[in-house]
Amino acid sequence: MLPCDPDYGKLIRPCAMTSHPVILIWSLATLTPPTYGSVEYPVWAIALGWCMIIFCIMWIPIVAIVRVVQVEGATLCQKISVACTSAPDWGPYLEEHRGERYENKPDSTEGPSCMKLLVAHEM
């Protein structure tokens, strides 16, 4: 977990925004076909592996775009902010697992109220 220091994000975000693309580009530029000893894998096997990876990862941006499009909000910034906000009843389901952190949260049997979340967020 990340430390709770508020200045920690000011250091990590710029580092991640610069280092991650550099690592990705470097990895793709220096990519060599995988081998098993002296045997190289065929091109179709490499393509199949990439297809399996893409099929698993592609759902992350697709679901994020669908969430942003479906949520209520006037501007794109508001839609992204509301889509990234957790539900008011988020937390452990069983009452015995809820500590003092979740005392002021609504009961998990009430269900999420997206309208309350939107109204509270716009204020």
Model pLDDT, residue 4? 58
- What is the dihedral angle through the alpha carbons of 42, 43, 48, 49, rounded to the nearest 10 degrees? 80
Residue 50's Cβ-count burial label (10 Å; 0-12, 13-18, 19+) is: exposed
Model pLDDT, residue 123? 47
Closest listed residue to residue 114, CA positions, set 78, 88, 77: 88
Give the chain's radius of gyration (CA, Å). 22
pTM above 0.85, yes or no: no
Whole-number mean pLDDT of the chain? 80
Q: Where are the domains of the chain?
A: 35-122
